[in-house]
Amino acid sequence: MKSHLVGIGGVGMSALAEFLSDRGEEITGSDRFLDHHTAVASLACLRARGIRLYPQDGSGVQDDTDRVLVSTAIEADNPDLTMAKKRGIPVVHRARALAEGLSRQKLIAVAGTCGKSSTTAILGHLFEVAGASPTVVNGAPCINWISPMRTGAVLSGTGEYCIAEVDESDRSLLDFEPEAAILLNVSADHFPLAESNALFERFLSQVKGVVVDGRKLPPPENVRAGDWSVSFTLDGQELTLPIPGLHNAWNAAAACRLAKELGISACCLPEALASFRGVSRRLELVGTSPLGYRAVDDYAHNTEKIRACLRTLQARAARVLAIWRPHGYQPLRAMWGDLKTMFGQTLRRTDRLLVLPIFDAGGTTRRDISSKDFVAELAKEGCSAEYAETPECARDRARAWAEGGDILVTLGARDPGLPGLCRSLL
């Protein structure tokens, strides 16, 4: 089987490419970042594995291509899709290809509006340390699994279970019929709350066995914050995760509950959690400057994720300096009011926010709003927010403000330049 992945550099598509390559498929791919000569870590990793990469001009879809795999983000007039139609090659959604590939093992699916990637990585790490040899396909790299030829989003195992993050944004979670599942939480993000709840309930009806439903569980007990960790009690057992945040205590507790339900011994949990190194761009502590301020990189891009990130950092610093890039015109338009209220409620008088231009991934989206407009709205809420025209401008302002004890954080999805921007703050 030879599969061509359109948008192969994205977090979901690069993980799928690695997973299918592990299963013996021949993989090719294209990406707009290649067209723009943008350095992307996932593309470098896939290229190191021998996967052939093409510009997104149709040239990668060839006579011997068996299928073309796409995500919902790929528009109908994409040159690769035009070529697939011309050659009569079937086009398959990434979720269906993943569901088919995972069908050899018992699937554990992790769903919810927030926390899926972290929980999937924690759960996979618990199974791995316990010797269960799981296969894992995640929406973000687990730092424990990263190597020059591994993105970190995929773990290739031989055990009976596979673990995967499933996505509600395009309803593709309904393509999966898991053996067991975690539903972490439900909030308004891609859909209104009532519609989101209905979608997740339909998903849960497809689960054959155990469900851990975070909406119905008591919180972990005795939660205690360390400098860069969180400890809690679960079923009388003391556990510590070397990643901060109350929300991560919830994520870890959900993973531990399901692991025990599926036969992972409780005695394995303390060691496994203690050796978990986190998920890339999920409260990732990038480093500490000689002046004594810390730089953190986080994928937070919707209202609840940004709130959780900021509150976690505020508990560890008297001042947080945040650089945020809205990840698209439509998402910002949809969350405009909620984001404005959230920033107004969450940012302290000591904190400062720099807002970069909206990330533009191309396509035909309406471009009738701007970050500058949003900053003007934040000013009405009394927020200390400024518009930064370029990443370099944001870097220079943040470094000029920063003092020992501060935390500087980069926030946002999609933009592959944000991790580098975070490193440059040091």
Per-residue pLDDT of the chain (426 residues; tens, 9 = 90+): 999 999 999 889 999 999 999 999 999 999 988 877 777 888 999 999 999 999 999 999 999 999 999 998 898 999 999 999 999 999 999 999 999 999 999 999 999 988 999 999 999 999 999 999 999 999 999 999 999 889 999 999 999 999 999 988 888 899 999 999 999 987 766 668 788 888 999 999 999 999 999 999 998 999 999 999 999 999 999 999 999 999 999 999 999 999 999 999 999 999 999 999 999 999 999 999 999 999 999 999 999 999 999 999 999 999 999 999 999 999 999 999 999 999 999 999 999 999 999 999 777 788 999 999 999 999 988 899 999 999 999 999 999 999 999 999 999 998 989 999 999 999
- Using the 8-state DSSP alphabet, how is residue 25 labeled? -
Query: Which residue, 29, 12, 114, 27, is CA-closest to 73?
Result: 12
3-state class (DSSP) for residue 58: coil
Phi-psi region of 3 (alpha: psi -120 to 50; beta: other; left: phi over 0): beta
Q: How many residues does the chain have?
A: 426
- Using the 8-state DSSP alphabet, how is residue 315 labeled? T
Sign of CA dihedral 413, 341, 72, 179: positive
Buried/exposed 27-66: b ≥16 CB within 10 Å, e otherwise: bbbbbbbbeeeeebbbbebbeeeebebbbbebebbeeebe
CA 371 centroid distance within chain = 22
Place of tokens 């507790």: 253
The sheet with strand 180-183 has its strands ordered as: 154-155, 135-137, 161-165, 106-111, 180-183, 211-213
| Integer Cα distance of 171 and 241 in angstroms | 31
Query: Which residue, 399, 367, 398, 360, is CA-closest to 38?
Result: 360
| Integer Cα distance of 350 and 340 in angstroms | 18
Give, for 224, the enclosing helix (H) or strand (E).
strand 221-225
